[in-house]
Chains A and B, each alone.
Chain A
Amino acid sequence: MSFELRRGEILGIGGLLGSGRTEILESIFGVSRGWRCGSIAIDGAAVAINSPADASRLGVALVSEDRKERGLHLTASICDNVALPSISALSRFGLRSFAGERALATEMVKRLSVRCSGIGQNVATLSGGNQQKVVIGKWLGTAPRILLLDEPTRGIDIGAKQEIYRLIFDLAVQGLGIIVVTSEMPELLLLSDRILVMCEGRQTGLLAREQATQETVMRLAAPGMAAWSQDAAS
C-alpha cells in the first residue's frame, strides 16, 4: 500500500476489524512487531523511524487504541502523564523542570477542557473521555506535525466525542496532518477528507470525500460481502 498525507488534511482509514489498520499506524510510529518494510518520507525527505523515540523526534505522534494498556500510566497524576513524552525536551542535564511540566499540563488541561479537580489528580479516577483527552494532550505537548489517532472515540460518551471531533478539526486547520483509524462509519465519513479503505492487510481503495458513502466504503472493505453491505445500507 502507498498513500500520502497532506498538511492540514484528515485521512481516514476504514476497514473491518483485523484488516491491518492499527498495524499501519504502529509501523509508521516505529513500534515494530515482526518484520516491517517500506519507506516513509516527511516533507519529501526520506526518514528512518525505528522506534517511538525516533518518531516523536520527527514530530509524529500516535494516540493508541487501548488507552489504559498502552496510553496511560494509571497510577500517576495528569501532570505526570501529560508531561511524559516531553520530559526530556523540558529537562536540562537530566534534571526535570517541574515548573515546565506543570505549565505544560495546565495548558493542555485547559486547551482540551479535561474535567478534573486539578493537574495532580490521578488519571485512573478520570472518566474515559477525559482519559482520552489526557492521552491526546500528552502528544500535543510534543508539538507534533503528524498525528496518528487510533480509534480516538472508543468507549467515551457523546459529549466528549463531540469535543474530540472539534479538536481534530481545529488541529487540521492549524496545519497538522492527521490520520484517523475508526470502526465507526459515521465518524469516518464525518472526519475524513479522504478515506483509505483496507481489506485483509491491503489497500483496496482511496476515496475522496465526495465519493465516499457508507456503501462505497463497505464495498471496498468487504468485497466478498458486497451484497450484504448493500442490504445493510438500504
Chain B
Amino acid sequence: MTALFRLLSRTKLYWGLLLICLIGAVTSPQTSAGHNIFLSYGNLTDVLRQVSITGLVATGMTMVILLGGIDLSVGSVMGFSTVICAMLLTKPGWTTASAMGVPAAMLVGGAAVALAARFVFAGLARGRDVSAGPRREIALSRWRSTAIPGLLGLIAAIAIAWWTLNQVPTKFGVLGVLLMAPCLALVLGGINGLLIVTGRLQPFIATLAMMVSALGIARLTAGSDNAVVPVYTGTNATEAFELLRSMLWGVLPVPSVFFLAAIILFGAMLRFTTFGRYAYAIGGNVEAAKLSGIKVAQVQLSAYLLSGLLAGIAGVLFVAQYRQGKPDAGAGLELDAIAAVVIGGTSLMGGRGGLAGTFVGVLIFGLLSDILQLQNIDSNVQLVMKGLIIVCTVLVQEQNLGQLVARWQFRRSGAAHVDPKTADAHRLPSAAKAQFAREDLDEAS
C-alpha cells in the first residue's frame, strides 16, 4: 500500500498531465461527424508544434537552473536570433546580420571542432580501469592536446567561411540560417557565461543585463525600433525554408522534432555523462563540487552556452512558424520557460529535477491553452489559469505539501494543550525540520 502510494506520489507529475488530457477529452467539442476534436491527431500535433519554441528554450533553462543559476536573457536572445534569421533569409549581400554571422559561425564552428577533437584524444588516452593503481596521469602530449585539434578547428573555420561567404551575395538557405543564427545566439550565451564565471556576477544580474542589451542589439540589427522583417517563402526567401514548418514524413511537425531531439539528447546527457553528474553536484553543493576537483567554471559556462544555443534554434523555428523576425519576438518567453521548468519539479535552488519534468511542464501549459482555446475562452483567462497552475503544482510538489500537512497536524494535535504563554518557545517545527521528519518517515516505511 505504502509502496503504491509512493509510486503514485513519485509519478504525480505524469498523473497531472493525464488529468489535463482527460479534462480536455471530456470537455472537448465534437465535430459534426462525432469525432473528438481534442483527441484528434491534428490537434495534438498542433499542441506539440506550439510548445516547441518555449520547450526548446525551457530545455536550456533547465540546465542552467539545475546548476543553481538562471538565464533571463533567453527571450531577447531568441528575438535577436529571429531578426538575424529573417535578415539572412531575405536580404542578399553584406548586411549587419551576415557581417556578424559569418565571423560568429567561423569562431563557434572552429572552436567546436577543436574541442571535439581534443575530447576524442582525451577519451582515447584514458583507460576505463582505475583499479590499475593510482590515478593515472592523463596529460596529453602537446601535439594531441593543442596542435591537431587547433589545426582541425582552423580547417573547419575555413570551410565554414568558404561555405557561408559563397551564400552572402545570394540569400542564405535553410542550413545557412540554422548554422548562423544559433551560432550568434551561442556567442551571446557565452558572454553571459563568461560574465558569471570570470566576472563573478550574480546570474540574475548578468543575464538581466544581457536581456536588455540583446533586445537593443536586435533592434539595431533590424534597423529601426519596431522593425519587423517579414519572410515570404517563395517570393523573398527560399522555398526550402517552408521545410521547418512542415510535417516530417507527414507524421511529426518539424519544430517538435527539434524539441523532442533536444529533450532526449540533453536528458541523456544529464543522465549518462559526467557533465550531467557534475551539473547536479554543482547545483546541490557548489563548494563541495569545487573541492571535489570539478571544474565548476567549465560546466557553468557550457550550461549558459547551451541555453543561448537552444534559444537561437528556437528563434529560427519562430521565423519558420510566424514568417517574420522581430526583436521582441521572445518578450516574456524567459518567464514562460522558467514557469515550465518549475512546474516540471526542478528546484530553483539547483541540484534537483530534470528534463523529463520540464517536458511534462511544457506540455501541461500547451494542453491547457489548447483546451481553453477549444472552449473559446478569453485569452486573458488563460493567463490567470497559468498562474493558478504554477501555484498549484508547486504546492503539490512533495516538500511544500509535506510541510503544510505537518504544520496542520501539529496545530491540531498540539494546539489544545500548549500554554499560550510558552507557545512561542515551542513553535511550529521549522520547514526544514518538518522536511527532515518527513524524509525519515519515508525511509522508515
Contact = CB atoms under 8 A, between A and B. Distances in A.
Interface stretch (A85-93, A155-163, A205-213): A85-93
Nearest to B136: A89
A117 B287 CA distance: 27
Contacts of A124: 436, 439
A42 interface: no
A57 B281 contact: no
Interface string B3-30: 0000000000000000000000000000
Interface of A: 29, 31, 51-53, 55-57, 59, 62, 64, 69-76, 80, 84-97, 100, 104, 117, 121-122, 124-125, 138, 142-143, 145
Contact of B287 (A69, A91, A92, A143): A69
B295 interface: yes
Interface string B123-135: 1001110100111
A94 B291 contact: no
B13 to A, nearest CB: 18
Nearest to B295: A53
28 contacts: A51-B293, A52-B293, A53-B294, A59-B134, A70-B285, A70-B291, A73-B284, A73-B289, A74-B285, A84-B281, A84-B294, A85-B292, A86-B130, A89-B136, A90-B130, A92-B127, A93-B120, A94-B123, A94-B273, A96-B272, A96-B273, A100-B130, A117-B443, A122-B439, A122-B443, A125-B440, A143-B130, A143-B135
Given A53-B294, A56-B292, A74-B285, 19 more contacts: A31-B291, A62-B291, A69-B285, A73-B285, A75-B284, A76-B284, A84-B289, A84-B292, A85-B293, A87-B277, A89-B136, A91-B126, A92-B127, A94-B275, A96-B272, A96-B273, A104-B130, A121-B443, A138-B292
A95 B273 contact: yes
Contact of B292 (A52, A59, A125): A52
Given A31-B291, A55-B293, A75-B284, A89 B135 contact: yes
A87 B274 contact: yes
Contacts of B351: 73, 75
A106 to B, nearest CB: 13
A96 B130 CA distance: 13
B352 interface: yes
A193 B322 CA distance: 75
B55 to A, nearest CB: 25
Which 9 residue pairs spanning A and B have beta carbons closest together? A93-B123, A56-B293, A73-B284, A53-B293, A85-B292, A143-B134, A70-B287, A52-B293, A84-B292
Nearest to B351: A75
Nearest to A67: B288
Chain B contact residues, majority secondary structure? helix
Given A73-B289, A125-B439, A96 B135 contact: no
A64 B280 CA distance: 20
Contacts, number: 114
Find the residue from B133, B135, B275 having the highest chain A CB count within 10 A: B135
A85 B291 CA distance: 9
Contacts of B133: 143
Contact of B137 (A57, A122, A142): A57
A12 B119 CA distance: 41
A74 to B, nearest CB: 7
Interface of B: 119-120, 123, 126-128, 130, 133-137, 272-278, 280-281, 284-285, 287-295, 351-352, 436, 439-440, 443
Contacts of A97: 128
Given A75-B352, A94-B274, A124-B439, A56 B135 contact: yes
B236 to A, nearest CB: 43
A182 to B, nearest CB: 19
Contacts of A104: 130
Contact of B281 (A56, A76, A93, A125): A76
A74 B280 CA distance: 11
A94 B285 CA distance: 21
B443 to A, nearest CB: 6
Given A53-B293, A73-B281, A76-B281, A125 B443 contact: yes
A204 B212 CA distance: 56
Given A74-B284, A75-B351, A92 B123 contact: yes
Contacts of B293: 51-53, 55-57, 85
Given A86-B130, A90-B130, A143-B135, A96 B284 contact: no
Contacts of B290: 31, 52
Nearest to B436: A124
B296 to A, nearest CB: 10
Contacts of B272: 95-96
B242 to A, nearest CB: 37
Contacts of A52: 290-293
B86 to A, nearest CB: 36
A76 B292 CA distance: 14
B127 to A, nearest CB: 8
B61 to A, nearest CB: 20
B282 to A, nearest CB: 9
A92 B126 contact: yes
Nearest to B126: A92
A89 B130 contact: yes
B291 A71 contact: yes
